[in-house]
Amino acid sequence: MPRAARAARGTPSQTPDTADVAKASGRTGFQPMEKFASFQNEGSTLHGMLHIPDGFRGGPGSVGVLFLHGWSGNRRGPHDILVAAARGYCDGGFPCFRFDLRGRGDSEGDMDEANLATMIADTEVAVQRFCEWANLSSVVLAGICSGGEVAIGAAPLCPTVKAQMLWSVPTVGVDRSRARRATQLHNLGEYARKLFRLSTWQKALSGGLNLPMIKQALSGKGGAGETPADGEKATPELDMPWRRRFLAFRGPILFVYGSGDPTAGEAAEYYRRLSAKGKLAADFHLVDGANHSFYSLPWKAELIDATLGWLRERARELHTVPAAAAV
């Protein structure tokens, strides 16, 4: 049966994803199962990968993790970090769902027409479908970079979302011009150093350089949830009440940053202050030396281990999380 026909019904497919087939680690005895899962939203079919631990039945008290990729990414995440995290969490007994937001990866839609508002709308439907497929009572949103912005915007709109894990999330609801300049200078220095590497020139001669990604990195842009500068055209992102959305959520939140990310310090301090103001249960973890996307095996391993440990600790209390305030 063609994928489009399966997707129209909004049900998981039994067809394995050859690029995503899991190998059980054996750490807990769970043998994870992975399968395609697709759903419809606003006329587009969105595709993802569902991870279910063997023997998992769901029901009262059950918790799953929904992953949200960055602005220009897909459900695998940078250097497959979302795949590794989903498999690690699934091996620990937590079902997971990774999907491509509208206009990204395998999902339908025009990326040029997508924005954080459409990404949030996609997430609301994804949460509903994930709960149906896995028989969940609670969902944790795990977003990296702009995926963290999407989590902040969607969490108070979804009654079953009880916690958030935000990786390298930029500040929302504020002017980020200083953070952009810091990122630009940092990235400029990184690319300047790469000019002296033989591998860089080999990649350039073979056509292997990702020029759009380099252009974006040098622009310093990492998300869209900021306040408009003078004369800036209004967009759904800029009009969104970001701070109110953040403060409306009453569940626990884990922030993870790398100390090598030039915007990490400012962002972490911003969320510490905002969390204290709202009396939110916020925890922070700093991966020493890590960059924005945790580009090394030790950094990735620490991120996954730290977040899984936090998830295990918090999962027992998620059923007591009160409903979000009206937004």
Question: What gap in Å lies between CA 49 and CA 25, rounded to an integer?
Answer: 19
Whether 231 is in a domain gets the answer no
Whether 234 is in a domain gets the answer no
The reported pLDDT for the residue numbered 207 is 73
What averages of pLDDT result for each successive group of 10 residues across the chain (327 residues)?
Answer: 40 46 36 88 96 94 97 94 97 97 95 92 98 97 97 97 98 67 50 64 68 56 43 52 95 98 95 96 98 96 98 92 85
Number of domains in the chain: 1
Whether 111 is in a domain gets the answer yes
Whether 288 is in a domain gets the answer yes
Whether 215 is in a domain gets the answer no
Q: Is the pTM of this model over 0.95?
A: no
Q: What is the CATH number of the domain that holds 21?
A: 3.40.50.1820
Whether 219 is in a domain gets the answer no
Alpha carbon distances (Å) from 61 to 33, 64, 135, 159, 320: 21, 10, 10, 14, 10
Long-range contacts of 294-303 (CB under 8 A, 24+ apart): 294/78, 294/81, 294/167, 294/168, 294/258, 295/78, 295/79, 299/258, 300/79, 300/81, 300/84, 303/81, 303/85, 303/167, 303/256
The reported pLDDT for the residue numbered 240 is 83
Whether 64 is in a domain gets the answer yes
Pairing assessment for the beta strands 282-287 and 161-167 based on DSSP bridges: unpaired
Using the Cα atoms of residue 24, residue 26, residue 31 and residue 36 in order, give the sign of their dihedral: negative
Whether 209 is in a domain gets the answer no
Q: Which domain range does residue 170 map to?
A: 3-176+240-320
